[in-house]
Amino acid sequence: MIEVKDLTKYYGPTLAISRLNFEVAQGEIVGFLGPNAAGKTTTLKILAGYMPPTAGSAAVNGFDCIGQSRDVRHSLGYLPENVPLYTDLTTAQFLDFAARAKGLEGSRRAGEIDRVVAECGLTEVRHTLIASLSKGFRQRVGLAQALLGRPPVLILDEPTIGLDPAQIVEIRGLIRELAGAHTVILSSHILPEVSQLCSRVIIINHGQIVASDTPANLTRQLGGSARVRLAVGGPEDAVLTALSGAPGVRKALAEGGGTFTVEVEPGVEVRPDLARLLVGRGWDLLELKAQEFTLEDVFINLVTEEDVHP
């Protein structure tokens, strides 16, 4: 549905994105993850046909984003970053304009407007000037505009930014319902959001893709290891030495106050052995817990140079 090949963009001498390659299949929800200024918005703007790449190509729904820009724009709904809206119009007037611009005619237009107003929860502000709407409602008006006409591809640039927690849950629910019928590509720097919503995550940093996989796989791949946290009542040095020497343990670290973190070989269950070892020495085992890596760990690991492990 979306095909990006060697996409490169310079703003003057500044390189924004460098040779991006990825594909998004029909019905997928793909999360575009990266720190600020990583090139997320630039990529989405190019896909939406708003600006041309410096080099490389992008295709949406089989149409080239540069040469067949209008066909591309016909097949997508786009929610730009910061949700620019015509603040002098009411919600209904604005949606009417967007529906007409998308070529929806007559009763189909009225039906589509009613549908997106209901889906996005805009009924109560239908005849309110956009200028006087709250941030959450504006975001929803922007999303409603993108959904008009049921475009096969949706490009959402930070769809939940600036919303309160309740609204975030609502919008996420809405986006999740879109899967299957629409191909969705959304950008975000909220990690739990991406791991909840997306079937696949593309992590981008300094204009380059650093990882692209399902949230679960990414978490699994990280460092190829897992961690165990322990709280032990005993002499710290002796416990640390004992833990470091245990089979299957790569590295043990004392965190102070009797707590330790142990990095273990992937796929090896070391917890029973560790428990027996510590109890056998006569120390008190107060806590023993396997720690999973979150997407956040993956993200920080991939986009920063420092090691995440303490």
Residues that bind other proteins (CB under 8 A): 10-12, 45, 48-52, 66, 69-70, 73-74, 76, 78, 80, 82, 84-89, 93, 96-98, 100-103, 129, 145
| Smallest separation, CB 139 to other proteins (Å) | 14
Looking at the Cβ atoms of 161 and 240, the one nearer to other proteins is: 161
Looking at the Cβ atoms of 112 and 297, the one nearer to other proteins is: 112
Looking at the Cβ atoms of 89 and 308, the one nearer to other proteins is: 89
Looking at the Cβ atoms of 90 and 167, the one nearer to other proteins is: 90
| Smallest separation, CB 117 to other proteins (Å) | 18
Looking at the Cβ atoms of 10 and 283, the one nearer to other proteins is: 10
Looking at the Cβ atoms of 88 and 269, the one nearer to other proteins is: 88
| Smallest separation, CB 217 to other proteins (Å) | 33
| Smallest separation, CB 78 to other proteins (Å) | 5
| Smallest separation, CB 101 to other proteins (Å) | 4
| Smallest separation, CB 112 to other proteins (Å) | 14
Q: By the 8 A CB rule, do 87 and 131 touch?
A: yes
